């Protein structure tokens, strides 16, 4: 998308969708149409109707309420894992850019090594080993965000270090730490926001995948991924059960990617 109008539409749509999902997560903390954990065997597997807009699942729970409540887990896990990557990755990148030489080399080789690891398998290993749950999922996903932020920060920071104002600051006697914090970091904010949005969307997908495998967010807290795996055995009886949770994930990620594309500084003419 590169005409100005289509960019603006994309940004607006992305921001709108993302905001809608975050609002849904917030609202679900206080209110959902039904209790997402409310079991009602007699009313199980009913199709969408006036009482249950998205129908009920195999234990009679209202699907719409479950989808709303799942947004909390998704947003939470994605937020904390992205945060983990930011908080640990950005300083590493800044240090690597400020001190070239063996520190830089060491950090970058470490990065490459971490990149080479199959992140999904290791996330599975960590959650399966230390116990499934939202916290471990955050850590497992977050650890692999660190090299991403480190690399992006370093690349952009290096470019900023070559600018005149950085050189002026050095001449004025400011140490590399002060320069990094006062000059480099502020100029990185847009880039970091874009990258954070991207990692956030990847976090949503990763959380859905881990929950699908049964090792992410645990019951009774609902989760889109777990709803999908429960629905898988019922595709013959109630195909719509697999449709809505997946649609929720896809829509949320779509909003986030539109947002990140829209925020990206325009480079092509």
Partner 1 sequence: MSPVRSRLRRTCRVALLGVLAMLALSASAGGAVRDRVTIGMQLEPPILDPTANPASAISEILYGNVYEGLVQFAADGSAVAQLAQSWEVSPDGLSYLFHLRRGVRFSDGTPFDAATTKFALERAIALDSVNPQKSRLAAISTIEALDPQTLRINLKRRSGGLLQSLAWGAFVMVAPQSAAGNALHPVGTGPFRFADWRRGDSLSLVRNPDYWGKGPRLRAATFKFIADPTAAFSALMAGDVDAFSNYPAPESFSQFQADSRFAVFVGSTEMETILGLNHRRAPLNNLLVRRAIAHALDRRAIIDGAMFGYGIPIGSHFPPGKPAYVDLTGRYPHDVEAAKALLAQAGYAGGFSVVLKLPPPSYARRSGEIVAAQLGAIGIKVKIENLEWAQWLDQVFARHDFDLSIVGHAEPMDYDIYARDDYYFGYSNPEFKALIAALDDTVDPRERDDLLRAIQRRLAEDAVNGFLFQYPRLDIWDVHLHDLAVDNVLGVVGLSRAYFDADAAAAPGADTAAAADRAVGAAPPWFAVFAAALTLAAAAGLIVVARRFGPAYLAARVGVLAATLVLATGIVFIVVQIVPGDPVRFMMGLHADPAAVSALRHELGLDTAPLQRYLGWLAGLIHADFGTSYTYRVPVRELIAERLQVSLPLDLYALALTALIAFPVGVIAAARRGKATDVVLSGLTQVGLAVPNFWLGLMLVLLFAIDLRWVSAGGFPGWDAGFWRAMKHLSLPALALSVPQAAILARVLRSALLATLHEDYIRTARAKGVGASRLLWRHALPNAMIPVLTILGMQFSFLLAGGVIIENVFFLPGLGRLAFQAIIQRDLIVVQSVVIVLVFAVVMASFLVEIAYSVCDPRLAAREIR
Q: Residues interacting with partner 1, by CB under 8 A?
A: 1-3, 6, 10, 37, 39, 41, 44, 58-60, 109, 112-113, 115-122, 124-126, 128-132, 201, 205, 208-209, 212-215, 218-220, 228, 232-237, 239, 242-243, 245-246, 249-251, 253-254, 256-258, 261, 268-269
What's the closest the beta carbon of residue 247 comes to partner 1, in angstroms? 8
What's the closest the beta carbon of residue 184 comes to partner 1, in angstroms? 24
For residues 77 and 169, which CB has a smaller minimum distance to partner 1 in the complex? Answer: 77
Q: Which two tokens stand for residue 187?
A: 């100029």
What's the closest the beta carbon of residue 153 comes to partner 1, in angstroms? 20
* Residue 60 per-residue DSSP state: S
For residues 47 and 235, which CB has a smaller minimum distance to partner 1 in the complex? Answer: 235
CA separation for the pair 58, 41 (Å, rounded):
8
What's the closest the beta carbon of residue 86 comes to partner 1, in angstroms? 22
What's the closest the beta carbon of residue 36 comes to partner 1, in angstroms? 12
Residue 158 burial (CB count, 10 A): 16
For residues 169 and 241, which CB has a smaller minimum distance to partner 1 in the complex? Answer: 241
What's the closest the beta carbon of residue 249 comes to partner 1, in angstroms? 5
For residues 187 and 261, which CB has a smaller minimum distance to partner 1 in the complex? Answer: 261
Closest CA relative to residue 262, chosen from 194, 183, 214, 161 = 194
Going from the C-alpha of 55 to that of each of 7, 51, 121, 238, 256, the distances in angstroms are: 37, 8, 34, 10, 27
For residues 184 and 215, which CB has a smaller minimum distance to partner 1 in the complex? Answer: 215
DSSP string, 192-222: HHHHHHHHHHHHHHHHHHHHHTT-SSPTTS-
Q: Identify whether 219 is preceded by a cis peptide bond (ω within 30 of 0).
A: no
Q: Which two tokens stand for residue 88?
A: 């640990």
For residues 44 and 174, which CB has a smaller minimum distance to partner 1 in the complex? Answer: 44
Closest CA relative to residue 117, chosen from 96, 148, 88 = 148
């Amino acid at each position: 998308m590169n005409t100005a109008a289509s960019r603006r539409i994309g940004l607006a749509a992305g921001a709108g969708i993302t905001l809608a999902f975050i609002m849904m997560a917030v609202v679900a903390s206080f209110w959902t149409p039904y209790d997402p954990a409310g079991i009602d065997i007699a009313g199980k597997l009913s199709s969408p109707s006036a009482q249950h807009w998205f129908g009920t699942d195999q234990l009679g729970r209202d699907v719409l309420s479950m989808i709303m409540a799942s947004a909390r887990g998704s947003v939470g896990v994605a937020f904390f894992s992205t945060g983990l990557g930011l908080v640990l990755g950005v300083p590493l990148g800044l240090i690597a850019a400020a001190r070239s030489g063996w520190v830089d080399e060491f950090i970058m080789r470490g990065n490459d090594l971490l990149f080479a690891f199959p992140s999904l398998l290791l996330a599975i290993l960590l959650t399966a080993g230390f116990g499934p749950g939202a916290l471990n999922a955050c850590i497992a996903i977050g650890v692999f965000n660190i090299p991403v932020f480190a690399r992006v920060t370093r690349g952009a920071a290096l470019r900023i270090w070559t600018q005149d104002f950085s050189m002026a600051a050095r001449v004025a006697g400011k140490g590399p730490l002060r320069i990094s914090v006062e000059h480099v970091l502020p100029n990185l904010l847009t880039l970091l926001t874009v990258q954070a949005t991207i990692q956030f969307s990847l976090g949503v997908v990763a959380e859905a995948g881990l929950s699908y495998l049964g090792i992410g967010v645990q019951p009774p807290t609902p989760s889109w991924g777990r709803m999908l795996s429960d629905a898988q055995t019922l595709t013959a009886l109630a195909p719509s059960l697999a449709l809505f949770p997946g649609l929720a994930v896809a829509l949320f990620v779509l909003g986030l990617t539109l947002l990140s594309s829209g925020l990206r500084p325009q480079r092509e003419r």
